[in-house]
Structure 1
């Protein structure tokens, strides 16, 4: 396949992105952070075509944006690209990104939960307020998602919007991502007077990181260009699987932790260690 041609020419992103104590403290206090230049323009130039081609090949939407439900309008969603392509695998398992994730959380090592390409089409709708970890059967508070645009993101589209320090409260509702979750969490944020942060325009290769329980949403895409984003979810090595308490978590246990029983180490073949401190 085209995206696997000349694999040896793709950058190996194993070098360190140095974090300051202030950045780590800010993430741990707020549950989110932006890191500029987590990948270089040259690195993104190499990997963007790989990821974009895989999204084209695996896009399951058959209706135009305006005919879909709220979730369908939010983005084209393709998961575990690293299983589909050796080139995508090199990006997803990059030591640089995983080391950032581990250091922000303050853990010695991290595994991959799964990756997702989230491409918001021109005219795509907003992403409702939600908490990611409501889906994840992982018995830990140490989960984190890297969200990296592969193309420049304008001010009017911006980053995701985060509700600061909401990760400290754990699960706030059993609402899955929906119109109802948007109303429920929007009302909660307003009633509590919680600070919300959007990091505005982003360059390709900038990245936000947010905790699994951090409330977040994303604006729609009023532009005429695709908002191409790649995400990678990490969790602390040594985490055990939870007994699923919802159908969403049962589905995730089967898909992303195949063969793992509740109480066992969350360490299936789909969850390789991406970084371990030496």
Structure 2
């Protein structure tokens, strides 16, 4: 990438991100998204996910600069040498998950998730789920607080907090992880091929309501949820050399 690349700056609404936006636009200029060759997103991981979803149709690479907290998907914030950093940046490509959720009123809801799709109990009683993989029932009854399917990029987020496995970024795999499984009590989940189609059916939905969530976009009172990786959609994320997702995943496992 050459220094002459046209940059579109986007920022979250936080005071820190807005101050960074003003400083960087004054130093480097900013163009509208339809004229940009690269997007620089200022904020935290949540804003990075928002940016990737919102600019998906443009196919532009996104370089994040951390103005939030954890910043797993972001680079370190710095005002100097941005053109050179963009020129040296390494690209990672992520395929999102597609969620198709059917609610009690028969409505079909479709959403994309870069990190994970999760099902969560929405009442006082544990959820009761039937788990089907590629058309074959693998678990007739999973009683739990919830379950999720994670991409490698999302495996250090909610999935890791739920004691799921960290997946290498290049792995052709997905993580299926339960939250607080009651029965089977010691079931820890499964690693699935990236091509797997996962279906959850909610059992006793009236008594045990369940909600589904795809990267923060929630659907309540779901009866069934189907999840699969969508290879035709490619999110392009830029990282400083030596600080890409592969290194970050390794770092999470050895600190």
Which range, TM-score by smaller chain? under 0.3
Structure (1 or 2) with the greater strand fraction:
2
Please identify the structure whose Cα radius of gyration is greater.
2
TM-score normalized by structure 1?
A: 0.25
More helix by share: 1
